[in-house]
């Protein structure tokens, strides 16, 4: 038995083949389409017993930090970059709060395409900046927020031949649907409730599309209620108007005018769910809870999904999936700010024994 990955044949035991090969029949690619993959997707759906007890439901965590560049963005980027290659793009560009740029840089490098990135000055986690740079992207820090950077990217694409790989590129959304496919495949059915963070709102749009797509194709027997959570200081959809100066500790979702606003509202309304806000304190409490009680180190933005679940609750006994969108290691500074810095002791057994109180 053999397996096809990016048009080449490998032994079947090679395993997971990346989302384009695994879900080819649900995606807009043909047998001749180039496939640029880092074998993204296939991420764990981890049962969360302590969180389940806490909210009186059965909760699973979709660990999107386990993707090749450490966030869910890889699911959409494999399709967007593959299509850019197919369509003969000369270069790609994105605005980003960090993760999109890390993913775009990695997939562009894989495809041999130049990649340009605009980030909000001083407001992205260092790990994400390091990723974009080490993968060879041309990075510019804009004196403004994500919304300003995305506006410039849109305008630039009108005057220079460059492919935008933000989620305004429809292939990003279509690729990100695969997250929903995997949830249904793992559970054998759609969950009752789906919780996730909302920033630029592409991912909630994509998950809802994915759940509906799977239902239409007879691969699922129902649809979840979609719960999207924004940070209080960056909650334009909740307050009903754009926010000029969004602010939150969860820098990945520090966005005041989401590009897929309509998609998020539609997902919430059509599914009988809602878009609601959680405070930075609630986000950080969920971030620490996940690390201490469930052994999952995720980003603050990702913890927003769990903060929302804890704050707003669900029907007792519901089956709930929370998408943890990115890996905690991307932002060690935030983690360190949440704990006590380790004490320094003499390099002597007695000094260590004294301090550890293990006896």
Find the binder of ligand F0G among 89, 220, 253, 296 (CB under 6 A).
Answer: 253
Instruction: Give me the least distance between CB of 157 and ligand F0G, in Å please.
Output: 16
Closer to ligand F0G by Cβ: residue 163 or 302: 302
- Select the span of 134-142, 157-165, 273-281, 297-305 touching ligand F0G (CB under 6 A): 297-305
Q: How far apart are CA 49 and CA 47, in angstroms?
A: 6
Site for ligand F0G in 178-237 (CB under 6 A): 197-203
Closest CA to 70 of 327, 331, 335: 327
- Measured from the CB atom, the residue of 198 and 309 that comes closer to ligand F0G is 198
**Window contacting ligand F0G (CB under 6 A); options: 90-98, 132-140, 234-242, 273-281:** 90-98
- Of the candidates 268, 173, 172, the residue with the CA atom closest to the CA atom of residue 213: 173
Give yes or no for residue 71 binding ligand F0G (CB under 6 A). yes
Measured CA to CA, the distance from residue 13 to residue 232 in angstroms comes to 47
Of 6 and 162, which CB lies nearer to ligand F0G in the complex structure? Answer: 162
> Which residue of 301, 303, 309, 322 would you call a contact of ligand F0G, by CB under 6 A?
301
**For residue 70, what is the enclosing H or E element?**
none
Contact 182, 219 (CB under 8 A): no
CB of 100 to ligand F0G, least distance (A): 4
Contact residue for ligand F0G among 43, 97, 145, 178 (CB under 6 A): 97
Nearer to ligand F0G, 21 or 147 (CB): 147
* 21 vs 199, beta carbon nearer ligand F0G: 199
| Token representation of residue 304 | 């927003």
- Burial of residue 188 (CB within 10 Å: 0-12, 13-18, 19+) is exposed
- Kindly write down the DSSP assignment for every residue of 324-340, as one continuous string: E-BBGGG-HHHHHHTSP
How is residue 166 written in tokens? 């933000």
Contact 195, 183 (CB under 8 A): no
Q: Which is nearer to ligand F0G, 167 or 177 (CB)?
A: 167
Q: For every residue of 267-291, which 3-state class applies, written as one string?
A: HHHHHCCEEEEECHHHHHHHHHHHH
Contacting range for ligand F0G; rule: CB under 6 A; set: 49-57, 185-193, 233-241, 299-307: 299-307
177 binds ligand F0G (CB under 6 A): no
Sheet holding 319-324, edge to edge: 45-47, 58-63, 319-324, 193-197, 225-231, 274-278
Options 58, 145, 169, 325; binder of ligand F0G; rule CB under 6 A: 325
CB of 140 to ligand F0G, least distance (A): 14
d(CA 43, CA 22): 13
Interatomic CA distance for residues 319 and 274, integer angstroms: 17
Question: Residue 198 or 249: which CB sits closer to ligand F0G?
Answer: 198
Instruction: Give the residue with the Cβ less far from ligand F0G, 191 or 258.
Output: 258
Applying CB under 6 A, does 99 fall inside the site for ligand F0G? yes
Among residues 252 and 285, whose Cβ is nearest to ligand F0G? 252
Would you put residue 24 in left (φ > 0), alpha (ψ -120 to 50) or beta? alpha
List the one residue from 82, 96, 248, 271 that touches ligand F0G (CB under 6 A).
Answer: 96
Is residue 98 near ligand F0G by the rule CB under 6 A? yes
What residues from 20 to 59 belong to the interface with ligand F0G (CB under 6 A)?
A: none
Q: Structure tokens of 149?
A: 């950077």
Query: Total residues contacting ligand F0G (rule CB under 6 A)?
Result: 21
Question: 248: closest CA among 296, 271, 226, 280?
Answer: 280
Question: Interface with ligand F0G by CB under 6 A: which residues?
Answer: 71, 96-100, 167, 197-203, 252-253, 299, 301-302, 325-326
């Amino acid at each position: 038995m053999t397996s096809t990955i990016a048009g080449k044949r490998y032994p079947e035991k090679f395993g997971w083949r990346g989302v384009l090969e695994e879900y080819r029949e649900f995606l807009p690619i043909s047998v001749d389409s180039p496939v640029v993959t880092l074998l993204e997707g296939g991420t764990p759906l981890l049962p969360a017993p302590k969180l389940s007890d806490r909210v009186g439901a059965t909760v699973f965590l979709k660990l999107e930090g386990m993707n090749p560049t450490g966030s869910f963005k890889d699911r959409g980027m494999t399709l967007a970059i593959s299509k850019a290659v197919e369509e003969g793009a000369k270069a790609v560009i994105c605005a980003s709060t960090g993760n999109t740029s890390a993913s775009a840089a990695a997939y562009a490098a894989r495809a041999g395409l130049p990649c340009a990135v605009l980030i909000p000055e001083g407001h992205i986690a260092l790990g994400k900046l390091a990723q974009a740079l080490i993968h060879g992207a041309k990075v510019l820090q804009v004196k403004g927020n994500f919304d300003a950077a995305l506006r410039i990217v849109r305008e630039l694409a009108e005057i220079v031949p460059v492919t935008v790989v933000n989620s305004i590129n429809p292939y990003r959304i279509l690729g990100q649907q695969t997250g929903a496919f995997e949830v249904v495949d793992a559970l054998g059915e759609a969950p009752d409730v789906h919780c996730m963070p909302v920033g630029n709102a592409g991912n909630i749009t994509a998950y809802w599309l994915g759940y509906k797509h799977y239902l239409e194709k007879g691969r699922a027997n129902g649809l979840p209620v979609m719960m999207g959570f924004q940070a209080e200081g960056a909650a334009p959809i909740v307050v009903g108007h754009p926010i000029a100066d969004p602010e939150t500790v969860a820098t990945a979702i520090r966005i005041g005018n989401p590009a897929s606003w309509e998609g998020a509202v539609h997902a919430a309304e059509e599914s009988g769910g809602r878009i609601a806000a959680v405070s930075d304190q609630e986000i950080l409490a969920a971030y620490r809870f996940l690390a201490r009680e469930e052994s999952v180190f995720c980003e603050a933005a990702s913890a927003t999904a769990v903060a929302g679940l804890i704050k707003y609750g669900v029907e007792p006994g519901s089956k709930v999936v929370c998408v943890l969108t990115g890996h905690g290691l991307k932002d060690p500074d935030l983690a360190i700010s949440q704990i006590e810095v380790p004490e320094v002791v003499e390099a002597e057994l007695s000094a260590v024994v004294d301090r550890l109180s293990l006896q």
